[in-house]
Structures are given as C-alpha cells and as structure tokens.
C-alpha cells in the first residue's frame, strides 16, 4: 500500500489540523482559575475527554457548541465552581479561536494538488466555518456531526460519508482516512473497511489527552508525526514513481 494509491483524503479536523488541545485548554483557563484546586493540563484534558465522549453518546443530536457548553458546566460542577451560564456559552463558542497547527496550511496546499480533500468532523457547521479561514484551502466536501445527527465513533458518521462520496464517484478503496484520534476515527474507520493514516500529534506525550482511550485492536496503515511529515512522504513516493 502506497500513499499514491488514493484519490481522496478524508480528515478529522480537530486534533489533526486544528490544535484542539491547546485551543481547549486556553478556552478553559478562566474556569481553571476559578477552581478550588488547579489541575494539571493532562488531567484537564482527560476530564474533558471523559465528559465529552459521554455527552456525545447521550445526546447525539445536540449541536456541538451546545454540547461544549454542557461539558463546561459539568467541569465547573466537578471542580466546585459556581455555575455561570455565560461562561459555559463562551466556551461553547470558542472553536473558531482554536489555532491551526503550524504545518497544516502548507501540508494541505501541497496535498490538494494530488487528492480531493474532505472533512468528517464532530463539530457543527457554524463552528467549522469559523475554523475554515485557519486551514488555508477549500475542501471538496465537509460533513459535520450536525449534518449526520451523531458523533464519531458512531459508525453512522462513516456510513454517511461513504454514501456521499460514492455519489461523487469515489469508492471506498479511493479513500485514506487521516486523523489523530484512534478512538474517534481509526476504530470506526477500521470497522468501515477504510485505510487510514494516523497523525500522531501526541507522540511525545503520555496518555490520550483530550480523547478517550482507543479500543483494543485498533490499527492504521500509515503513521506520521505531523501533516508536514505526511506531505513529505507523499512527495517522496510521488517522485519515486
């Protein structure tokens, strides 16, 4: 299997292209400052991951900005902070402020010369639209949890995407799913029979950060430390042909 075997890259956005852990943590700083005890960064991310995945499973039709606001309120209760609906809403609206990784734009612009680029994201349409200017490209298709009515790792998200791409003339074998989260993306991509590339953004960090631990047996076909490394690997493979 080679990177040049595919026609389309389907991306998770947050964690892969957008530095969602930095964005999340920065947006949580006001709440952390009000907490009785200051938790370490990795503990904050792990607490968020647990509450977010639980809420996504419980309320699959909830818009992501509202879901973030609910998770913020739950974190506040767990840290014994006085409820503040305005602060909850501000966190829910913070997605557009989350930064892109430094290598994202250049890598996407290179890869767009060789593939169709598609987003499969757990956010809502407005939140993704707020992030789009940070990504530097126009995508061939964007599929959000709001469009689908469920959140990854629900298999419905991948079924929806595959059906939409099939209507565009793209087969399952044309697709390389490219993502950071083994839990949200690679496990359901495995179940859907898709090849996948792991962008291992947390390679030097312990634990799983802002995502839940992956299930046993999850696998991937390619592994890169960054989008820049993936683009460089494609360039080398393309030149060797």
Whether 25 and 12 share a structural domain = no
Q: Is 103 a catalytic residue?
A: no
Number of domains in the chain: 2
Whether 127 and 219 share a structural domain = yes
Determine contact, residues 152/159, Cβ cutoff 8 Å. no
Query: Which of these is catalytic: 12, 19, 124, 154?
Result: 12
CA distance 156 to 145: 10
Whether 136 and 86 share a structural domain = no
Whether 76 and 54 share a structural domain = yes
Whether 73 and 106 share a structural domain = no
Identify which of 73, 94, 80 has the alpha carbon closest to the alpha carbon of residue 27: 94
Predicted local distance difference test score (pLDDT) of residue 38: 84
Binning pLDDT at 50, 70 and 90, where does residue 227 land? very high
pLDDT tens-digit profile of 170-184? 999 999 999 999 999
Predicted local distance difference test score (pLDDT) of residue 237: 81
Structure pTM?
0.94
- For 139, the domain range is 3-19+101-240
Of 97, 122, 138, which one is at a domain's C-terminal end? 97
Whether 175 and 62 share a structural domain = no
Average pLDDT over residues 17-37: 94
Predicted local distance difference test score (pLDDT) of residue 205: 74
Whether 56 and 116 share a structural domain = no
Whether 40 and 126 share a structural domain = no
Whether the per-residue pLDDT at 25 is higher than 90: the answer is yes
Determine contact, residues 228/103, Cβ cutoff 8 Å. yes
Predicted local distance difference test score (pLDDT) of residue 112: 97
Whether 10 and 47 share a structural domain = no
Whether 234 and 122 share a structural domain = yes
Q: CATH number, domain at 138? A: 3.40.50.1000
CA distance 18 to 103: 10
Of 69, 97, 125, which one is at a domain's C-terminal end? 97
For residue 61, with 0-12 CB atoms within 10 Å meaning exposed, 13-18 middle and 19 or more buried, which class applies? exposed
Predicted local distance difference test score (pLDDT) of residue 212: 80
Predicted local distance difference test score (pLDDT) of residue 93: 97
Whether 57 and 146 share a structural domain = no
Q: Give Cβ neighbours of residue 147 (< 8 Å, ≥ 6 apart).
A: 125, 160
């Amino acid at each position: 299997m080679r990177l040049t075997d595919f026609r389309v890259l389907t991306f998770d956005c947050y964690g892969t292209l957008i530095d969602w852990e930095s964005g999340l943590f920065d947006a949580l700083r006001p709440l952390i400052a009000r907490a009785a005890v200051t938790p370490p960064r990795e503990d904050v991310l792990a607490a968020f991951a647990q509450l977010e995945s639980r809420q996504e499973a419980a309320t699959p039709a909830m818009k992501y900005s509202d879901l973030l606001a609910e998770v913020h309120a739950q974190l506040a209760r767990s840290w014994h902070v006085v409820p503040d609906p305005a602060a909850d809403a501000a966190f829910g609206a913070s997605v557009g402020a989350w930064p892109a990784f430094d290598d994202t734009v250049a890598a996407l612009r290179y890869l767009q010369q060789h593939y169709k680029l598609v987003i499969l994201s757990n956010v809502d349409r407005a939140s993704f639209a707020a992030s789009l200017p940070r990504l530097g490209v126009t995508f061939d298709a964007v599929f959000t949890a709001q469009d689908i009515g469920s959140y990854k790792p629900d298999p419905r998200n991948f079924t929806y995407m595959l059906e939409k791409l099939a209507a565009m003339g793209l087969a399952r074998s044309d697709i390389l799913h490219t993502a950071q989260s083994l839990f949200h993306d690679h496990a359901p991509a495995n179940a859907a029979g898709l090849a996948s590339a792991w962008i291992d953004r947390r390679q030097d960090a312990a634990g799983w950060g802002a995502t839940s631990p992956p299930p046993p047996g999850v696998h991937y076909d390619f592994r890169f430390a960054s989008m820049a490394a993936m683009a460089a690997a494609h360039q080398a493979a393309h030149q060797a042909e």
